[in-house]
């Protein structure tokens, strides 16, 4: 018996049968399926980032104008909701990196896209993911021992939690800017991403800007529970994540595009003879 035959038999014996649970799981472990799963990280990020709010009676959020005593009473009354809901909220920081990586992977398929744009998208997504993972821990610290501290301290922590929840979106603008730039750079007749995705995504980011005023007011449209800073920003942010996820998922299934491996001039190395 030849050496190749022995190696082939050993390889076959180590591979799980297709009708076993291990074989079925490994059958799903493909590069294509992982990319599609990562692309779904966008809407899943939004889902888990906001899922805790109904469980804690924060849809819409509690008013910034509440007295310290009412703020503390809110946390004490909804303590169980916070304990369970904030665990779910932390899962947003699991899906956001997957989503960012999926976007970067598809961007790199566009001929002529410089590495700078891919890196900018990844770093913007990484920083955005960091700020997405901070609010649940701040809310958890606010809820923790709320009954044992002065109401003013609970109000202070609550203010910090909501401001961090609402304001740190500029990193996501960097991510979106780099992604839209890459889309518009694709000059092929049948581009990887529809060009309207870039324009629509950029337009949706305009809804984020009212949240920059949450630290300036205690009520009104730009307060953290207001119509602009919460509802408009939340709806447009969720729509943008879902739009980009759909575009990336769609792009991941395409194999009909020529010229994907053409390097950008920035990536070409030159030698001096």
Asked whether residue 107 is assigned to any structural domain, the reply reads: yes
1 in any annotated domain: no
In order, the DSSP letters of 229-249 are IIIIHHHHHHHHHHHHHHHHH
8 in a structural domain = no
Q: What is the pTM of this model?
A: 0.82
* Residue showing tokens 């575009």: 247
Classify residue 268: in a domain, yes or no: no
Q: Give first-to-last CA distance, the chain, whole Å.
A: 53
Q: Which regions of the chain are under pLDDT 70?
A: 1-19, 22-25, 27-28, 257-273
pLDDT at 30: 80
Strand, coil or helix: what is 209? helix
Contact residues for 220 (Cβ-Cβ < 8 A; gap 6+): 226
Q: How many domains does the chain have?
A: 1
What's the pLDDT at 24? 67
For residue 120, being part of any structural domain is answered with yes
Structural domain of residue 110, as residue ranges? 31-255
* Secondary structure (H, E, C), 122-182: HHHHHHHHHHHHHHHHHHHHHHCCHHHCCHHHHHHHHHHHHHHHHCCCHHHHHHHHHHHHH
Other beta carbons within 10 angstroms of residue 114's beta carbon come to 16
Q: Are 248 and 194 in contact (CB under 8 A)?
A: no
Over the stretch 57-111, which tens digit does the pLDDT of each residue have?
Answer: 999 999 999 999 999 999 999 999 999 999 999 999 999 999 999 999 999 999 9
CA distance 45 to 158: 23
Q: Is residue 202 part of a domain?
A: yes
Whether residue 9 lies inside any domain: the answer is no
Say if 212 falls within a structural domain.
yes
DSSP state for residue 271 in the 8-state scheme: -
């Amino acid at each position: 018996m030849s050496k190749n035959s022995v190696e082939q038999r050993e390889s076959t014996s180590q591979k799980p049968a297709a009708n076993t649970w291990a074989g079925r799981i490994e059958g799903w472990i493909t590069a294509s399926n992982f990319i599609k799963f990562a692309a779904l990280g966008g809407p899943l990020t939004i889902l888990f980032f906001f899922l805790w709010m109904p469980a804690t009676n924060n849809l819409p959020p509690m008013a910034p104008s509440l007295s310290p005593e009412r703020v503390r009473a809110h946390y004490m009354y909804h303590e169980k909701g916070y304990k369970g809901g904030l665990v779910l909220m932390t899962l947003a920081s699991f899906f956001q990196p997957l989503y960012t990586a999926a976007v970067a992977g598809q961007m790199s398929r566009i001929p002529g896209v410089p590495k700078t744009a891919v890196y900018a998208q990844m770093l913007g997504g990484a920083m955005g993911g960091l700020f997405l993972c901070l609010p649940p821990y701040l809310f958890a610290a606010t809820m923790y021992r709320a009954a044992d501290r002065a109401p003013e301290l609970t109000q202070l922590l609550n203010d910090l939690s909501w401001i961090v929840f609402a304001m740190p979106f500029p990193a996501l603008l960097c991510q979106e800017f780099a992604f839209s730039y890459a889309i518009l750079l694709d000059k092929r007749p049948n581009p990887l991403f529809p060009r309207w995705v870039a324009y629509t995504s950029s337009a949706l980011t305009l809804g984020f800007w009212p949240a920059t005023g949450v630290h300036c007011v205690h009520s009104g449209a730009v307060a953290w529970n207001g119509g602009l800073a919460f509802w408009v920003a939340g709806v447009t942010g969720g729509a943008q994540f879902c739009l980009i996820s759909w575009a990336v998922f769609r792009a991941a299934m395409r194999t009909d595009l020529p010229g994907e491996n053409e390097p950008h001039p920035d990536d070409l190395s030159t030698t001096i003879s």
